[in-house]
A = this chain, B = another copy of it.
Amino acid sequence: MGKGQETRERLLDIAELSVLAKGFGATSIEEIIAEAQITKSGFFYHFRDKNELARALLQRYLDREDGLLDELFDRARELHDDPLHAFLIGLKLLAEKMADLPNGHPGCMVAAYCYNERLFDPSVRSLNRTAVLGWRERFVAMLEEIAAVYPPRDDVDLQSVADMVSSSVDGGIILSKALGEPAVLSKQILLYRSYIKLLFSPTVD
């Protein structure tokens, strides 16, 4: 990574934490460059304007998130052939990952952007939408594979069950933040796992 890329990443790191803690509108370029020890002109060399910072921030977050999900659920599939058990293992790995964050989850960019939507141009909003649709697709594929083997014990829409992964994570993050109890997030993921277990297991216990 060249010197320019390094600076850019540093700017994004600083911006990311600030955006998750104060929102995009309250995150000033002034404060980012102060922490990054760079001048304002230096900042604008890397990003044309604040909206380009927003786009880059979201894109980087989504790439990382996709990478993490690939890693965890691929690993889960390695550990178990059965689609249901692989999914349950993947959820456990995810819960553990979330529990291992030292200061709790810093926040979900997608959620932060939802509560700042009016600030962004359509391209950023569409990026956000596409990301959530991607997660839906990812988990719907797993769930269909599961449902083909284990008929669900309740009449549910698999697409919504797929959405529930994102919902549990985003909801869990909010509760963790509001309560100041980082553990809440992983507990919510494990409850989703419990639902999947009950929904698809032929016998329970």
Interface residues of A (CB under 8 A from B): 18, 20-27, 107-108, 110-119, 128-129, 131-133, 153-154, 156-157, 160-161, 163-164, 166-175, 177-180, 184, 187-188, 190-191, 194-195, 197-199, 204-205
The A interface is mostly helix, strand or loop, or mixed, namely helix
Please determine whether B110 and A178 come into contact, CB atoms closer than 8 angstroms: yes
The complex is assembled from copies of this chain, and their number is 2
Please determine whether B21 and A118 come into contact, CB atoms closer than 8 angstroms: yes
Ranked 5 nearest A-B pairs via Cβ: A25-B26, A167-B171, A171-B171, A23-B23, A198-B198
Q: A111-B115, A111-B174, A115-B115 are in contact. List 16 more A-B contacts (CB 8 A).
A: A22-B118, A23-B24, A23-B25, A25-B25, A108-B174, A112-B115, A133-B179, A153-B204, A156-B191, A163-B175, A163-B188, A164-B171, A167-B188, A168-B168, A171-B171, A195-B195
Provide the residues of chain B in CB contact with A194, threshold 8 Å.
154, 156, 195, 199
A169 to B168 alpha-carbon distance, docked (Å)? 10
A111 and chain B: residue at smallest CB distance:
B174
Expressed in whole angstroms, the minimum distance between the Cβ of A120 and any Cβ of chain B is 10
A184 and chain B: residue at smallest CB distance:
B163
Provide the residues of chain B in CB contact with A108, threshold 8 Å.
174
